[in-house]
Chain A
Amino acid sequence: MLEQRVPGSAEQTGGIPGSPVLPDLTGVDLRTLQGLDDEALTAAVEDVLRCPGSFTDSWGDSP
């Protein structure tokens, strides 16, 4: 996975339309996470806090 990493940027467009890019946090432990002050991570966090309801999306098509 690591060889696929490229520098992140909060200006990039992420997977969900209109969302910032999801940063690759591989190898980041929880203690580091708490103190991590990174532009892309901050943008992703603020996006979650702006619309936490979007994470309750579900798909329920009956097969």
Chain B
Amino acid sequence: MAAAPGAFHVPPATLVRIAATRQRPHDIGLLHAALHSRRLVLFKALLARVGREDLPAPARAAFDRDWRLLERAESPTPAAARRLLDYPAVGGWIVDALNAPGPDGLTAALHPLGGIAVGTALRTGARLRTVLPTVDGRLVLPGIGVQDARASHVRIRTGPHGALLTPVGHLGRSVPLRPDGRGAGAGWTSLAVLPGSAGRLDDLGTGHIAFPDVSRAPDVQPRPDRAAWLGRWRAAVSLLQAADPWRAAEITGLVRSVVPMAPAGEGASSRTLRAAPWAVHTALPDSARRFAEVLVHELAHSKLAVLTDLVALHHADGSAVHHVAWREDPRPFDGVLQGTYAHLALADLWSRVAERPGAAPAARRAARARREEYRAQVADALPILLNSHQLTEHGERFTVSMRQHLTSLGGGPGSPYALSDSLSGDGDVR
């Protein structure tokens, strides 16, 4: 009989460090463990829903087959499997399935499970022999790539040396995949590696999840300009490495995917989904500087989303809303907390840019102005949180720590609140 699961404990020092936006490796280890546990809870919830739903017999049989495949795929090295099971799009897919309406909706939403099993087997070297159906002739391996099989089914063999995907009836379109997911062959497209990281540009429509509160859903038609995305990512990371190596390492170490979204006009241009931490959903930022800000901003949302799975920071029910400096629409309490934290991370970033040795005077002035903009936004929002009587003891500690970190960032001479944005479009901050 398996041992009963324990419960997490978040040390106060961890809470303080995360609040100051600069955690230590074992703090991140705790967040990774929490994310994985949440992912397993979602899988277990999916098993429960499938068990209770009156699915058509073929759909139930397909789910049982794919779940067994997934178990076998994980079994050689569960630790290696986590890399795929915890991939952001997998979380998004489970939540899509949990929210799918009725038996028909659930049946349609269960398709990706077989592809997740194959992707997991690539990570672990498990031996699988199976045949999976395609959707519109495509086989999607989340986090890895897409095969345009032009067939209704694909025969799959996996093992320690990779995988072979053979469209049934189209031997000439067989695709061998290496264990790292790279492959060659007609119809195969791998997700691109985000340079300098283990993350992926999830630009093939495999990482997309509907955002119910966004009027225009993320869209991948026409397909994003991959070279433009990768070039801007590279420039953004270079900018961060020059200004703040710690933050650059955090970004390249934690961001698992960048998911292109269609521009949303006046609306939000970047997003983080609770079910898919470490994914940055964004329209293509118009400069390296802007991309760097998006990455820092969205990663802060991810960290706080995972942390709040571990400890309750407040007990607000969302009925009250508050005005904040960074949005025209009033925000629920949780949105104020999330936004305050993300903007504190940006104030921290620009403080590092402003105070780094060797910065040219004009760039230093511009960076200080940017820092002051974000500092002012955070300073305006903190009293909403601190005077709310909605914070838990943990939340109080977290928020006070945010305030202390804000104070430590300093105001600089003159505190120029003018919203100067004189950095060049290509991200040159020298």
Closest chain-B Cβ to A51's Cβ sits at a distance in Å of: 10
> Does B7 lie within 8 Å of A5, measured CB to CB?
yes
Closest chain-B Cβ to A31's Cβ sits at a distance in Å of: 5
On chain A, the number of residues with a Cβ less than 8 Å from chain B's Cβ atoms is: 48
- From A22, A23, A29, A63, B74 is in contact (CB under 8 Å) with A29
Q: How far is the CA of A30 from the CA of B66 in the complex (A)?
A: 12
In the complex, chain A residues whose CB is within 8 Å of the CB of B11? 4
Q: How far is the CA of A61 from the CA of B358 in the complex (A)?
A: 32
Known: A5-B8, A6-B9, A25-B36. A62 touches B268 (CB 8 A): yes
Q: Is the interface of B mostly helix, strand, loop or mixed?
A: helix
Give residues 186-227 of B contacting A (CB, 8 Å): 209-214
Q: Mark A38-58, 1 if CB is under 8 A from B, else 0.
A: 101100110011001111111
> Does A25 lie within 8 Å of B326, measured CB to CB?
no
Instruction: Name the residue on A nearest B44 (C-beta).
Output: A45
> Does B7 lie within 8 Å of A40, measured CB to CB?
yes
Closest chain-B Cβ to A58's Cβ sits at a distance in Å of: 5
> Does A63 lie within 8 Å of B294, measured CB to CB?
yes
> Does B312 lie within 8 Å of A14, measured CB to CB?
yes
Instruction: Name the residue on A nearest B302 (C-beta).
Output: A59
Q: Is B61 an interface residue (CB 8 A)?
A: no
> Does B7 lie within 8 Å of A55, measured CB to CB?
no
Residues on B lying within 8 angstroms of A by beta carbon are 2, 4-9, 11, 29-30, 33-34, 36-38, 40-45, 47-49, 67, 70-71, 74-75, 78, 95, 98-99, 209-214, 267-275, 290, 293-294, 296-297, 301, 305, 307-317, 326-327, 335, 338-339, 342-343, 346
Q: How far is the CA of A34 from the CA of B45 in the complex (A)?
A: 10
> Does B30 lie within 8 Å of A4, measured CB to CB?
yes
Q: How far is the CA of A25 from the CA of B148 in the complex (A)?
A: 37
Of the A-B pairs whose beta carbons lie under 8 Å apart in the complex, a sample of 30, sorted by A's number, is A1-B30, A5-B7, A5-B9, A6-B6, A6-B7, A6-B9, A7-B4, A15-B308, A15-B310, A15-B313, A17-B314, A22-B37, A22-B309, A24-B6, A24-B8, A30-B43, A30-B67, A32-B2, A33-B43, A48-B45, A48-B98, A49-B98, A55-B95, A56-B95, A56-B210, A56-B273, A60-B214, A60-B271, A61-B339, A63-B293
Task: Tally A-B pairs: CB < 8 A.
Answer: 190
In the complex, chain A residues whose CB is within 8 Å of the CB of B45? 45, 48-49, 52
In the complex, chain A residues whose CB is within 8 Å of the CB of B74? 29-31
- From B95, B210, B312, B339, A17 is in contact (CB under 8 Å) with B312
